[in-house]
Structure 1
Amino acid sequence: MSTESTAILYPARDPRARRSLRLASGTALCLAASFGLSLPIPMIAPVLGVFLLASVNQPMSPRAGLGLVLVVMLTTGSGLLLIPLLRYYPFTGVLLIALCLFLAFRYGLRGGNNLVSTFLVIGLTMISAAGTFDFGLALLVIGALVKGLLVAVVVLALCHWLFPDPAGAPAPPAATALPDDQAAWIALRAALVVMPAFLLALNDPAAYIPVILKAVSLGRQSCTTAARGAGRELLGSTMLGGVLAIVFWCALSLFVHLWMYFLWMLLFGLVAARKLYGLSPSRYPPGFWVNTLVTLIILLGQSVQDSVAGKDVYTAFAVRMGLFIGVTLYAWLMIELLDQPRGARRHVRRRGRPC
């Protein structure tokens, strides 16, 4: 391809190439840092890194980064307040969790901070489920979320320094706040998508934490997915993430090392990021590729931990993949049953990014 045609396709002010590099390198750095530092639940840092890097296209000041961490500590700590209700009044506690999930998703759909909405959903589900089983496990989950977010914030700043947007690059369009009735309908749907994973986690939180993270990702994706094509987007991204995780595992098995883990994650992240930002043609929306990348990270990270613990990696992967497919089919069913009115459907498509 000639220099002139390249300049036409990718103008000097087009920030998509650098944003793709930021997303891929940031995800790989979060992965390497979390496993290298032996953080608790190491897959949390790269998952939060994907959400952060895909949502924030501007460098965060140290004050803003610290403020986000403090907000997350407060929002995730809210799950601790619901532990007594879940232990002694389980039916009331579950209903209250469902109401809080609905309010958290509606907050994001009404123009609120999407990251805060996501962290609130994670805190309400993961921490309250873990605390019902063991209070010490709830504190461990809070520590893992805070440490993982700190890693993601530091990596975000480093990646913006390494790959800044070109001067004069257009800012991404702000998400449009939905009207109250449409936001409430879609928030109800997203909350119902997350609830089954939370109920499963009440029985064994340590085993179902990956399922909760997957359900949260599906809940975000359901905010921008209409009934038409929902199966292709939700189930397709889950299946693609599983296939990529198998290919990744086979490639990593050739030479097992932390830096090879980083380099393979960088390569797979670049493939997904180019699709997400439109550098490589794709008929799927950005939420599809975010969910694919998150599914890959969760499945692969859990398999690595299973291998270290001496478990049967392949059996555990098959069970986990089956649970992911089941949760995805349920999310598809909720979208089909609670499809919003025609006007809301067009409006959701214009938003273009998860809640």
Structure 2
Amino acid sequence: MKHRLFSYGLVGITLFLFAAIGAFNYVIDPYGYNHAFPLKINAKKRVQNERQDKFTLLSKYPHVESFIFGSSRALRLNPDIVTSITKDETLNMAFCSASEDEYYLYIKYLVETRKVKTLIIGIDLFAYADAYQSNDTLPASLLAYYHLENTPQMSSYLNYDTLKDSLKTVQVNIKAIPSLNEYYTPHGQNIRIEYLKAAENQTTLKSYTYKNVIEKPPFWHIQKDKLSQERLNQLKEIKKLCDQKGIRLYLFMNPLWIKQITMKQNKFFLQKALLKYIVTTVQPVWDYNAITAINTDPYAYEDQFHFSCKTGDSILSEVIGSKASIAKYSGTYVTPQNLEAYLDQVDQNLRMYLKKAH
């Protein structure tokens, strides 16, 4: 009897906490989903709405015809590197936690409303994973263009990430906090000031890298071991649009830190499946996950998830200009002809790394 009462009590407390978190997130509304409770503590939504900011960036540069898309990883890519190679002014249109269906809408909008010469997409596994959903809100103007409405699932209000952003929203509205951690260049690249300061000398960089790359636990943004066919089809549609309009399309697989590749709850098999699908059904792609220096050198990264801006410069130099600015960070251009041999080499390199590590 006592055990049953304890179980009922535990279930009751859990349900109460979920309800309290959901109600708090709904009232604070950190992503501007419902606007149901206009209060002083939620007047400003989060610290930054990157999706809206990047859409606004388009209106500031109506003449630009070259664009970079992707997640917070792609935010580290300097569009001025592309400009220096192609002579075409370029914007970084990436935003945090981007799913493929989000930037698909941006790309389709661009192709339908202006001339586009070049598209560069940094591929993330989570962006094509089944059931993955970002919590942020797309710009009202973009939704209106497609006659869409912002209809979030109730689960959006019940998760921990939304709670963190709700607390951040309250904090920002109670006390103005200057943004000292990062800034955006005029063309949309995100630069983390803390990392830049640490990189000023080897001692601080070593300490920063140990704390933020080596010691931090890795993670995957994946709920199911399955790719979304809808998102894969949208990438194929992007390729079709580019072929029809004569747009240069560059694709590359974002490099992963070795601890993410080798962690226990591993999704690297799905990463390789995504690579294989893109190469065989869309187009050749640059890959940066052959267990080489770009995966194993902690100084290639700002944290356990994001490569550094310098690494990003090297990737763009190779993807657009065919030569990596950091030779040891070079990738492989994977085609249908070399795909199987390349995947075999990746597996062999991984086995060798694990053998040495143990």
User: TM-score, structure 1 length as denominator?
Assistant: 0.29
Instruction: Give the structure with the larger strand fraction.
Output: 2
Mark the structure with the bigger radius of gyration. 2
Instruction: Give the structure with the larger helix fraction.
Output: 1
